[in-house]
Amino acid sequence: MEYFTDTDMGLDMGLVNRAVESAFADHGRGQIQMPPKVYVTLPEGDFRTMPAYLPSLGIAGVKIVNVHPANPARGLPTVMALTVILDVGTGQPVAVINATRLTDMRTGAAGAVACKYLAPKKEIVLGVIGTGRQAEVQVMAISQECRIRQIKIWSRDPSHVRKFADRFMAFPCVAAPVEKACDCDVLVTTTPSRVPIIRDDWIHEGTHINAIGADAPGKEELDPAILQRAQVFVDDPAQAVHSGEINVPISKGLYRESDIEGTLGEVVIGKKKRRDAEAITVFDSTGLAIQDLAIAKIAMQHGRKIELPFP
């Protein structure tokens, strides 16, 4: 068995985008095994287990990932992850992967794939709500699929906006009030909010939204009225209903599971699509185990490794 460290170093974001896109296509065709993630609640956060089998890549395994919002004050990442890969033929563990940064990258790749197929145009003004690690990797991944003409950035802390802009000096970046950041072609929301922070009247026709932050029951970033007038595409229906952007509106009777337009996998394979240029589209991302397997396959080819005897 091998332990892979520093597995994000040197990985090409475009390559990761394509691998995740292929995994979504397999999902759209029903060619994967992936039960919904399981949540365990802890006093200051939670952890999730995410098993899957991706036959097209001949890979199976499980990721364990935590979310602890208070961790940055302790000098720790909010999200940390470990992926265990099993031999498909024997079930023997063959690799343990430090998947902390890979989790960021595969989520960014999902947002990029959504933009590739659902953004209203290929040259975009990008609005970014939140300035953490996921906001950063969303920009990195989306820039592989769309030409970013300008980035409008909002954060509750202005100093975070300045630091974020410094990381993306290749693009024109401006600090913006939250409502002005929503005046864009593609909006990315990456906060852990439990109350809507994006109002319906800030979103104009033709906008595509990557709703990334809501990944657990009780979280929501968007005014439910946005969902009611948008085409909502989810990564996986069961997970989205349980813990995605639509979870709170559904629990309050403000949105119905039957209102979901389709999955991103169905969009990738051409079964579903943006209705027209004026449509508002939302990608509700909860994070899929097949994304983790797709990026694990790349990491095992490129990451630094240490041999661990097993059994």
Dump pLDDT digits (tens) for 206-223.
999 999 999 999 999 999
pLDDT value of residue 6: 61
Dump pLDDT digits (tens) for 54-74.
999 999 999 999 999 999 999
Do residues 207 and 186 touch, judged by C-beta distance below 8 A?
Answer: yes
Dump pLDDT digits (tens) for 134-172.
999 999 999 999 999 999 999 999 999 999 999 999 999
What percent of the chain is modeled with pLDDT above 70? 96
Dump pLDDT digits (tens) for 177-214.
999 999 999 999 999 999 999 999 999 999 999 999 99
Domain-by-domain residue ranges, the chain? 2-103+290-307, 108-287
pLDDT value of residue 302: 78
Q: How far does the chain reach from its first CA to its final CA, in angstroms?
A: 8
pLDDT value of residue 11: 86
pTM above 0.75, yes or no: yes
Q: What is the mean pLDDT of the chain?
A: 95
pLDDT value of residue 7: 61
Amino acid identity of residue 25, one-letter, is: A
> Which architecture characterizes domain 108-287 according to CATH?
3-Layer(aba) Sandwich (3.40)
Active site residue 252: no
For the domain made up of 2-103+290-307, give the CATH fold: ornithine cyclodeaminase, domain 1 (3.30.1780)
Structure tokens at 7: 């597995």
Do residues 83 and 296 touch, judged by C-beta distance below 8 A?
Answer: yes
What whole-number distance in Å separates Cα of residue 122 and Cα of residue 277? Answer: 12
Structure tokens at 4: 């892979």
**Confidence grade of residue 10 (pLDDT, cut at 50, 70, 90):** low
pLDDT value of residue 103: 95
Dump pLDDT digits (tens) for 255-277.
999 999 999 999 999 999 999 99
Q: List C-alpha distances in Å: 267 to 90, 144, 180, 210, 273.
A: 35, 19, 29, 14, 5
> Catalytic residue among 63, 152, 219, 272, which?
63
Strand partners, 52: 61
